[in-house]
Amino acid sequence: MTTLTTSTGAQHAAILGVGAYRPVRLVPNSDVVDAIDSSDEWIQQRSGIKTRRWAGPEESVQMMSVEASRIAIERAGLEAGQIDCVVVATVSHLLQTPAVATAIAHELGTDHAAAFDISAACSGFCHGIALASDIVRAGSARHVLVVGVERLTDILDLTDRGTAFIFADGAGAAVVGPSDAPGIGPVVWGSDGEQFDLIRQREDWRDVVGSPEVPGSGVMPHLTMQGNPVFRWASFAMAKIGQEALDAAGVTLDELDVFVPHQANMRIIDAMARSMKLPSRVRIARDVADQGNSSAASVPLALDRMIAEGDARSGDTALLIAFGAGLSYAAQVVTVP
Amino acid sequence: MATTEEIRADLADIVNEVAGVDADDVQLDKSFVDDLDVDSLSMVEVVVAAEEKFGVTIPDDEVKNLKTVGDAVAFIERSQG
């Protein structure tokens, strides 16, 4: 039997740079309340959301991704030609194939980088960071660009009280590459398909189109969510996963500087922080108040903002955790670039 | 076996911690939503804390039936029984 040569990667991987793109349009609660017979006060009390970013016609999944990625690559001190793998986490690129990652890799000017999309909904970015870390350490690529991007307004039912005020659009990106010290801890991830229906696309595309026997709905298959069970799972089960990610990285709560949970809802963020007994000096991402819940984009958007505002400093130890439809989840400790 | 009053007092502490309601206001005849202003998300937090405190399971389907503090105390007593 012939012995195969295998690749050899970097001993350690780290996030080298982060970038973000937020849509120009800032939508206040007053613009969404009429369609869901609600109020600014109710929305803020239930979610902590005051405004959200909604993309305009020019702000496509690809456009937002490229803008965020250019910043991340520059901050990593790299050129696009040095990116040899592009992983895009999204559930709202409505052209199902080819992967939007290929168009992003091309527009950025990479040299034929490997490029593919992953579907893990709100937890997609943390899945992508886990893949990127492993890819770099295994030697399958040297610099991996991870993008979390959504245009959820395309699949939002503006009359649905459970989702219309929550979801938003945007893109965040991170470059993962080799480093002298470990900068990305072990991922703690998993899924619970028994709860497949809690957050989901309402119907199959074939039901939209219909058949000769059964006419289709002709309506975009919107997102639906059962809020209270999701709140319970996210606030408590996910707090345990966050603790497991800290344990896996050998980091104590006293050593943690920054907490960047998926920006689902301020109430979930607060409940998780209480449930994890985070010390008050740990700085917590609260981007959801202004940005809304932008699913796969939420963690990198929130991290980028904390870095920009000085709440996350280079060398800080940060816990990332993301969770959503599937149900699926992923968490890891990282060093802030 | 904990008495009804002991369960009420422990539950009152939980409601105080989760929703900031004065524990003395958490009496058996009080409605969580109408009297104590505990919304459905806070109710989920109360339920999870109560499950841990009292060693019982309160399914999501059951939560909507727990309209008053007395309903919750009675459910916990039955579950512990």
Which residues, listed in sequence order, are joined to residue A20 by a DSSP beta bridge? A172
Q: What residues have CB less than 8 Å from A202, skipping those under 6 apart?
A: A221, A222, A223, A224
* Separation CA A64–CA A180 (nearest Å): 31
Domain identity same for A197 and A124: no
* Separation CA A252–CA A261 (nearest Å): 17
Residue in the structure block whose two tokens are 């219909």:
A210
Region for A140 from its dihedrals, namely left if φ exceeds 0, alpha if ψ lies in -120 to 50, beta otherwise: alpha
Q: Within a domain: residue A4?
A: no
Q: In this structure, which long-range contacts are made by residues A56-59, counting pairs with CB atoms below 8 Å and at least 24 apart in sequence? A: A56/A23, A56/A24, A56/A25, A59/A21, A59/A23, A59/A24, A59/A151, A59/A169
* Separation CA A238–CA A272 (nearest Å): 7
Domains of chain B (ranges plus CATH)? 4-80 (1.10.1200.10)
Q: Within a domain: residue A317?
A: yes
Three-state secondary structure call for residue A118: strand
**pLDDT value of residue A227:** 86
Contact list, A46 vs chain B (CB under 8 Å): 39, 41
Q: Within a domain: residue A323?
A: yes
Average pLDDT over residues A282-302: 98
Average pLDDT over residues B1-11: 90
Contact list, A235 vs chain B (CB under 8 Å): 44-45, 48
Q: What residues have CB less than 8 Å from A32, skipping those under 6 apart?
A: A38, A43, A158, A164, A165
Q: Within a domain: residue A157?
A: yes
Interface test with B, best of A44, A195, A236 (most B CBs within 10 A): A236
Order across the sheet with A258-261: list the strands: A188-191, A328-335, A317-324, A258-261, A283-284
Domain identity same for A154 and A19: yes
Name the band, by pLDDT with cuts 50, 70 and 90, for residue B60. confident
Instruction: Write down the catalytic residue from A127, A143, A222, A262.
Output: A262
8 Å CB contact of A267 and B41: yes
pLDDT above 90: residue A324: yes
8 Å CB contact of A231 and B48: no
Residue in the structure block whose two tokens are 């344990």:
A247
* Separation CA B35–CA B55 (nearest Å): 27
Domain boundary among A179, A209, A239: A179
Contact list, B45 vs chain A (CB under 8 Å): 235, 271
Name the band, by pLDDT with cuts 50, 70 and 90, for residue A130. very high
Domain identity same for A197 and A74: no
What are the residue ranges of helices labelled H in A203-328? 205-209, 227-232, 238-249, 266-276, 288-291, 298-308
Domain boundary among A159, A179, A199: A179
Burial B44-65 (b: 16+ CB within 10 A, else e): bbbbbbbeeebeeebeeeebee
Domain identity same for A161 and A222: no
Q: In terms of Cα–Cα distance, which of A295, A294, A289, A288 is closest to A50? A: A289
- How many of the other CB atoms lie within 10 Å of CB of A24? 11
Average pLDDT over residues B11-39: 92
Q: Within a domain: residue A3?
A: no
Clarify whether A293 is annotated catalytic: yes
Half-sphere exposure of A183 (CA within 13 A, CB side): 26
**pLDDT value of residue A277:** 93
pTM of the entire structure?
A: 0.92
Q: Within a domain: residue A1?
A: no
Beta strands in A65-156 (DSSP E): 85-89, 114-118, 144-151
Domain identity same for A136 and A74: yes
Contact list, A227 vs chain B (CB under 8 Å): 40-41
- How many of the other CB atoms lie within 10 Å of CB of A96? 9
* Separation CA B81–CA A168 (nearest Å): 47
Q: What chain A residue is nearest to B45 in terms of C-alpha separation? A: A232
For chain A, what's the residue count?
A: 337
8 Å CB contact of A229 and B39: no
**pLDDT value of residue A229:** 87
SS3 content of chain A, % helix, strand, coil (to 5): 35, 25, 40
Domain identity same for A230 and A141: no
Total tally of structural domains belonging to chain A:
2
DSSP A181: S
CATH number of the domain encompassing residue A122? 3.40.47.10
Residue in the structure block whose two tokens are 């727990």:
B66
**Token digits of residue A86:** 């592009």
Domain identity same for A257 and A128: no
8 Å CB contact of A228 and B45: no
**pLDDT value of residue B59:** 87
Please, what is the average pLDDT of chain A? 96
pLDDT above 80: residue A254: yes
Contact list, A232 vs chain B (CB under 8 Å): 44, 47-48, 60
Q: What percent of chain B has pLDDT over 70?
A: 99
User: Which residue range is the domain that position A92 belongs to?
Assistant: 12-179
**pLDDT value of residue B81:** 72
8 Å CB contact of A235 and B44: yes
Q: What chain A residue is nearest to B39 in terms of C-alpha separation? A: A46
What is the end-to-end Cα distance of chain B in Å, rounded? 8
**pLDDT value of residue A138:** 98
pLDDT above 80: residue B1: no
Domain identity same for A166 and A274: no
pLDDT above 80: residue A93: yes
* A258 within 8 A of A282, measured Cβ to Cβ: yes
Residue in the structure block whose two tokens are 């040299």:
A111
Domain boundary among A136, A156, A179: A179
* Separation CA A182–CA A197 (nearest Å): 37
Average pLDDT over residues A21-47: 95
Q: Within a domain: residue A5?
A: no
Domain identity same for A158 and A204: no
Domain identity same for A128 and A262: no
**pLDDT value of residue A153:** 97
**pLDDT value of residue B80:** 84
Q: What backbone phi and psi angles, to 5 degrees, belong to A80?
A: -55, -35
Q: Within a domain: residue A92?
A: yes
* B15 within 8 A of B36, measured Cβ to Cβ: yes
**pLDDT value of residue A185:** 98
**pLDDT value of residue A14:** 98
The ipTM of this complex is 0.76
Domain identity same for A26 and A158: yes
Instruction: Write down the catalytic residue from A126, A127, A143, A293.
Output: A293
What are the residue ranges of helices labelled H in chain B? 4-19, 40-54, 60-63, 69-80
Which tens digit of pLDDT belongs to each residue from A49-85?
Answer: 999 999 999 999 999 999 999 999 999 999 999 999 9
Domain identity same for A164 and A76: yes
